[in-house]
Amino acid sequence: MIRQGYRERGTGNGGGRARSLFPIPRSLIALLLACASPEPGGELVRVTIPPGSGFRAVTDTLAAHGLTGSRLWFRVLARVRGIDRAVKAGVYDLPAGAGAWVVLDQLQQGKVAMARLTVPEGLTLVELASLADARLDIPADSVLAQARDSGRLRQLAVAAPTLEGYLLPETYNLPLPVTADGLVQAMADEFTRRWNPAWDRRLDSLHMTRAELITLASIVEGEARHDDERATIAGVYTNRLRRGMLLQADPTVQYAVQVARGERKPRLFFKDLEIDSPYNTYVHAGLPPGPVNSPGLKSIQAALYPTDVPYLYFVAGPDGHHVFSRTLAEHNHAIMQVRRLAGSAP
C-alpha cells in the first residue's frame, strides 16, 4: 500500500540499512533500466497517485501515461531499489521519456506538483476566496467556510466569527491538489509561524490585545501606499485613539460597504460615511469589531511600533503619499492643495 513515508527495517545488528538477500549484478540493473524506460520525450505528464494505491496500480497508471516500457521490469526495478513500498501519494508532473530511474526517484522523494499563489496584502476574506477560485479553481464558498471553521478558530485563539486578518498575505507553493482546507490552514500556519513572541510583550506595554493590534494594522494596510509612511499613519491613529477621537478611517467604511453590499468601493461618497455598521468609524468611536482586511507584516510592525508624531490628520495626494497635519485647519488647507494638484494632473 502507498503510504506517506517508509522506513527501512534494520539488519538486527544495530539498526543499519537493510541489505538485499542476494547481490544484483550491475549488468542486470543496466538491463532493467533499458527495459523499463520509454523513448525520451521532454514534456511533463501529470499523474495522480491516490492514497492507498498498490504498486501494481501505480505501474498501470504510469504505463497508461506512457511513462514505462515493460511493466514487469519496472516493478522488478522498483523492488530491487526498495521503492515499491516507499512511493508517496500525490499529483506528479513527470518528464516523459526520462527513464524509470528518474520516475522512481521522484515518486520515492514525493516531488509532487505544486501550485503557486501570491496573496497581496490588504485583501478581505471575500477577495481571497475569489482569488482562490480564479487561480486555484477552489470554490469561493469553500474557502469562506474553512475560514469560519470553529475548530480552526479555537486552534488559533481567534475570538471572532472568521479568520479575517489572520491569514498572512504571502506567496505560497502548495502541493496539488490544493483544497480550501489546505489553503486556509497553510495561511493560518504562516501567520502563527511569523508571529514574533516578543510582540506579545510589546502588546502588554501598549495595553492592546492581539485582536486590537491586527485590527489597527489592517487599517494601516488599507491606508498606506508607501512603506515609509506606515508607522506614521499608525502614529496618527494611535493619537486619535488616545484622545477619544473618531478614527474616521476609510478602510473601515469600505469594509462595511463590502459586508453590506458584497462589493468593495474604490471610492467612497459622503452617503457611504453614514452606513449603519459597527465598522463605520465615522460614526462609532474606537477600533472596529475586528480586522477589515489581511495586513502584511510591515503593517503589523507599524501598528506595534508607531512613530511618535504630533499629527491627527492626513490626506492622500495623487501619488499615494500623504500630507499630515496637526490641526483641522491645517488639514482642510491640505485637502484644498491636494484637490488643486489632482485637478492639474495630466
CA–CA dist 115, 334 (Å, integer): 46
More confident position, 107 or 135? 135
Determine the pLDDT at residue 30: 53
Residue 122 has pLDDT above 60, yes or no: yes
Report yes or no: 114 and 186 within 8 Å, Cβ to Cβ: no
Please give the model's pTM, rounded to 2 decimal places.
0.81
Alpha-carbon distance values, 55 to 75, 99, 107, 228, 333 (Å):
8, 17, 11, 57, 75
Alpha-carbon distance values, 170 to 23, 47, 175 (Å):
50, 28, 16
31: its cell numbers: 538491463
Q: How confident is the model at residue 6 (pLDDT cuts 50, 70, 90)?
A: very low
> Each residue of 233-257: pLDDT tens digit?
999 999 999 999 999 999 999 999 9
The interaxial angle of helices 125-136 and 140-147, nearest 10 deg, is 140
145-163 mean pLDDT: 94
Task: Please give the single-letter amino acid code of residue 307.
Answer: T
Determine the pLDDT at residue 23: 53
Residue 342 has pLDDT above 80, yes or no: no
Residue 11 has pLDDT above 50, yes or no: no
CA–CA dist 81, 101 (Å, integer): 9
DSSP, residue by residue, 96-140: TTS-HHHHHHHHHHT---EEEEE--TT--HHHHHHHHHHHH---H
> Each residue of 260-294: pLDDT tens digit?
887 787 788 889 899 999 999 999 999 999 999 99
Over pLDDT 70: what percentage of the chain? 87
Residue 35 has pLDDT above 60, yes or no: no
Q: How confident is the model at residue 214 (pLDDT cuts 50, 70, 90)?
A: very high
CA–CA dist 156, 214 (Å, integer): 14
Alpha-carbon distance values, 216 to 131, 170, 221, 241, 286 (Å):
24, 19, 9, 10, 10
CA–CA dist 114, 240 (Å, integer): 46
Average pLDDT, the chain: 87
Residue 197 has pLDDT above 80, yes or no: yes
Any idea which residue has 493619537 for its cell?
Answer: 239
82-102 mean pLDDT: 84
Say how far residue 197 (Cα) sits from the centre of its chain: 21
Least confident of 97-106, 199-208, 280-289: 97-106
Q: How confident is the model at residue 135 (pLDDT cuts 50, 70, 90)?
A: very high
